[in-house]
Structure formats: C-alpha cells, structure tokens
C-alpha cells in the first residue's frame, strides 16, 4: 500500500486479554498440516512488516507491556520484498510473525513453506472466507483496500469533459495523455493495476490493452509517491496528469474547505488488495506470534487501521471514518485473479509488460 499522511482520529483503547485470545486459535504446525510440538516461546518477539506498516506508539507499547515481550519491528521493503526475504532466510528466519503479505504474493509464501499453521478464532470463519486464502490456515486477513484509477474532479469540470468510468474509456482519444501509472516491476499499486487489466482482458488480451494505452499517452513512473504527489494534478504536486493509479480511499484525504472531495475513484477499474498476517515457520516465539495476530485483529487496533494505514479493517466491529462512506466507495465487484494464477504467472506477465510498454 502507499504511505500517506493520516488525519487525527481518537481511538478508545481498552485492555486486551492477549493470552486468552491467543489460546483460542489453532496451534502452529508445519504447512502441510502435520502435528507440531508445543509452540515455542521466548522473551523477545520480532515482527516483520512491509515498509508502510503504521500503528500508534500507544498501541505498540500496550502490546509490549501486556504481553511481556521485548518487541522489535523490521521492515525489509514492500510486500514483494518481504516475501522474497522470508524465502531467502527460511533456514534462519528473520522473525517470528509477519504482517503485510498481500494477495498478489500470498500463494508464493504458502508454496515456499515460510508460514506455520495458525487459524485465529478472532474472526468468524464466514468473514475469513470472504478473502482469498483467508481459510488457508496459515494466513489471517487483517485489512484490505482497492487499487483504482483516481481522477482530478476540477480538471475535468474546467474542461467540461466527463470523467472516464471504465478501463476501456481510458483508451478514448479525449483522454490521451491524461493517465499516469506505476511500474508493476517496482510498485505494489502498479502491480495491482497490471493484474486489474489481466482480470478484465485475460492473459491473452492484457498486452493488447496496454499497447493501446501506450499509444494513448500513458506515463509510467517508478512508484506511488512520484505518481500521486508529483505527476498527478489533483494532489500536492499539481502535476499535469488528471488521472492516476492510487486507492479508493485516496479521495477521503483530498477534501477541501467546502467539504467536497477534489478527487474521485473510478470504481469500475479497481483491483482488491488483501493484507495478511502469519506465524513464520521456525519462529523462536510462536506463542508471541499468535498473540500479535490476535492483537492486530482486536477492535481497538482494527479501528486504527483506516486512519494509520488507509486500508479497510476486516473486523466487522471496527470503526470506519465517517468520510469514507461518501468519499471512499468500494467497488461492488472488484477485478480479480485467482491467487494461484498470480503466483504462477506474475514474473512472466511483468516481463511481457516491460517488453511491450517500456521496450
């Protein structure tokens, strides 16, 4: 996900019964489901996250105090980098618990055996089943968001030009030179948008779509920060591109003094990202890892997620900012690809895209 400034949000923090929560889940075992010994435990807990992980210092301190662990956090990079590092270090694990593996890399993490079994009871089975791999037994959904094309409302209004609605609209002559996207080889939202086009056009049609998009003047940059804050006309950078690949929640951070959002998300272009947590196979503190997953699923922490990480919490009892109902609408039917297909074809799709679009 992206790193964006968060508005203030008051969260009422209550005491968590961490040990009780952790004991309600299914214990750690090997990924193939064989019986494991009693979970390990130590005085320290190392949490591996992606670089956009952000919770309040108060929440982190509360977890450390109530669990009794000395907790450290390491962030090797984005979600893809985290999975790569877990695979490279699986004989000597980086830490005990991981947060931030998303559905674009989740199947690879499962296939490589870097995760131990733990099935949290903090979410009803029906809720977990709503998310890809939520019932895998090794990954627990924590939050989700939708990567969508965003539009600068004022730019289109000034030109009396309708805001495009679909992926096909982006190919029309009137939108030539209006879209900036992130490179899927270096950007998580860029990769999600590539998957959106595969989901819409199929593995045999997405390259033809990108060829047409290139002919219509799409600009490709390395990452979200450059695309959204520099090249996009609707945010701080005041660039020249009125369309950008970002998140469906981004407009909620672009509200003017009149109470109106400066931007809007094109919900027919969205691809859903789900972020997961899991116990790392070979963890020195499996008990602590389980407790941390329960901590992430507590209503208090889940209610922090929208404001701190700009994602939707999975817990149905979590608080959602009021503005999101108006300015962060979700696509009813986001574009999707099965996790196994993403795992099997990711590198080939990126390579083919690079050859076609970058040259």
Q: What is the per-residue DSSP string for 192-249?
A: HHHHHHHHHH-TTTHHHHHHHHHHTT-EEESSHHHIIIIIBTTSTT--SBSEEEEETT
**β partners of residue 246:** 148
Looking at residue 172, its pLDDT comes to 98
| pLDDT at residue number 26 | 53
Q: Which of 60-74, 112-126, 321-335 has the highest mean pLDDT?
A: 60-74
Is 359 or 205 the better-scoring residue by pLDDT?
205
Percent of the residues in the chain that have a pLDDT greater than 90, as a whole number? 74
Q: Which of 33-47, 72-86, 90-104 has the lowest mean pLDDT?
A: 33-47
pLDDT at 67: 97
pLDDT reading at 56 higher than 60:
yes
User: What whole-number distance in Å separates Cα of residue 1 and Cα of residue 248?
Assistant: 12
Q: Where in the chain is the domain with CATH 3.40.190.10?
A: 18-145+273-323, 146-271+333-358
pLDDT of residue 314: 96
Quote the CATH superfamily of domain 146-271+333-358: Periplasmic binding protein-like II (3.40.190.10)
The answer to whether residue 77 scores a pLDDT higher than 80 is yes
* pLDDT, tens digit (0-9, with 9 covering 90-100), for 210-258: 999 999 999 999 989 899 999 999 998 789 999 999 999 999 999 988 8
Q: Is the pLDDT of residue 32 over 70?
A: no
Q: Which residue has the higher pLDDT, 33 or 163?
A: 163
> Whole-model pTM?
0.83
Query: What backbone phi and psi angles, to 5 degrees, belong to 14?
Result: -110, 165
* pLDDT tens-place string over residues 86-144: 999 999 999 999 999 999 899 999 999 999 999 898 988 889 888 888 888 999 999 99
Q: CA geometry: angle at 257 spanning 236 and 260, to 5°? A: 85
- Confidence bin at 2 (pLDDT 50/70/90): very low
> Which pLDDT score is estimated for 20?
39
**Is pLDDT larger for residue 94 or for residue 21?**
94
Using CA atoms, how far apart are residues 290 and 42, in angstroms rounded to an integer? 13
Neighbours of 328 (CB within 10 A): 23
Q: What is the pLDDT of residues 254-266, one digit of tens each?
A: 998 888 899 999 9
Among residues 10, 353, 313, the alpha carbon closest in space to that of 145 is found at 313
Architecture of domain 18-145+273-323: 3-Layer(aba) Sandwich (3.40)
Greatest C-alpha distance within the chain: 67
CA proximity to 164, closest of 90, 100, 241, 230: 241
The CA-atom distances, in angstroms, between 271 and each of 3, 181, 244 are 18, 14, 14
Rounded-to-integer distance, Cα 58 and Cα 9, Å: 13
- pLDDT confidence tier of residue 36, bands split at 50, 70 and 90: low
pLDDT at residue 19, as a whole number: 39
Which among 112, 120, 113 is positioned nearest to 137, based on CA atoms?
Answer: 120
Q: What is the pLDDT of residue 29?
A: 45
Average pLDDT over every residue of 62-82: 94
Helix (H), strand (E) at residue 333:
none
pLDDT at 228: 95
Residue 8 pLDDT > 60: no
User: Would you call 51 helix, strand, or coil by DSSP?
Assistant: coil
Which of the residue ranges 19-28, 30-39, 248-257, 340-349 would you say has the lowest mean pLDDT? 19-28
Residue 341, phi then psi, degrees to nearest 5:
-70, -40
Mean confidence (pLDDT) of the chain: 89
How far, CA to CA in Å, does 42 sit from each of 39, 69, 97, 278, 339? Answer: 10, 8, 13, 18, 34
In this predicted model, what pLDDT tens digit does every residue of 163-192 receive, in sequence order? 999 999 999 999 999 999 999 998 889 999
Q: What is the share, in percent, of the chain residues with pLDDT greater than 70?
A: 90
Residues 6+ apart with CB under 8 A from 77: 50, 51, 85
- Which whole number is the average pLDDT over 5-20? 34
> Which pLDDT score, from 0 to 100, does residue 6 have?
35
Please provide the size of the chain in residues.
Answer: 359
Burial level of 157, CB count in 10 A (0-12/13-18/19+)?
Answer: exposed
């Amino acid at each position: 996900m992206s790193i964006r400034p968060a508005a203030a949000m008051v969260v009422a923090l209550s005491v968590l019964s961490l040990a009780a929560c952790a004991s309600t889940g299914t214990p750690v075992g090997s990924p193939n489901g064989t019986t494991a010994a009693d979970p390990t435990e130590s005085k320290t807990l190392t949490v591996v996250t992606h670089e956009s992980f952000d919770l309040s210092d108060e929440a982190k301190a509360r977890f450390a105090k109530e669990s009794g662990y000395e907790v450290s956090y390491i962030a090797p990079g984005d979600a893809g980098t985290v999975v790569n590092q877990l695979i490279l270090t699986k004989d000597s694990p980086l830490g005990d618990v991981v947060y931030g593996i998303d559905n674009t890399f989740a199947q690879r993490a499962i296939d490589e055996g870097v995760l131990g079994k733990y099935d949290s009871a903090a979410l009803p089975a029906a809720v977990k089943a709503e998310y890809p791999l939520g019932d895998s037994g090794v990954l627990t959904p924590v939050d989700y968001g939708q990567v969508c094309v965003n539009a600068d409302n004022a730019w289109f209004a000034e030109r009396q030009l309708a805001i495009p609605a679909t992926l096909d609209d982006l190919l029309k002559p009137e939108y030539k030179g209006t879209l900036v996207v992130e490179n899927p080889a270096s950007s998580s939202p860029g990769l999600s948008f590539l998957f959106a086009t595969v989901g819409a056009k199929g593995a045999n049609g997405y390259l033809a779509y990108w060829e047409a998009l290139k002919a219509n003047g799409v600009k490709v940059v390395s990452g979200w920060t450059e695309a959204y804050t520099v090249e996009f006309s609707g945010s701080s950078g005041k660039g020249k591109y009125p369309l950008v690949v970002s998140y469906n929640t981004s407009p909620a951070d672009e509200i003017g003094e009149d109470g109106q959002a400066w931007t809007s998300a094109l919900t027919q272009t969205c691809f859903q990202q789900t972020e997961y947590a899991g116990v790392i196979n070979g963890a020195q503190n499996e008990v602590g890892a389980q407790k941390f997953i329960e901590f992430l699923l507590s209503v208090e922490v889940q209610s922090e997620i929208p404001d701190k990480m700009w994602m939707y919490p999975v817990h149905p009892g979590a608080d959602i900012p009021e503005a999101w109902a108006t300015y962060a609408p979700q696509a009813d039917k986001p574009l999707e690809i099965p996790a196994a297909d993403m795992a099997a074809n990711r590198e080939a799709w990126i390579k083919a895209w690079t050859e076609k679009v970058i040259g």
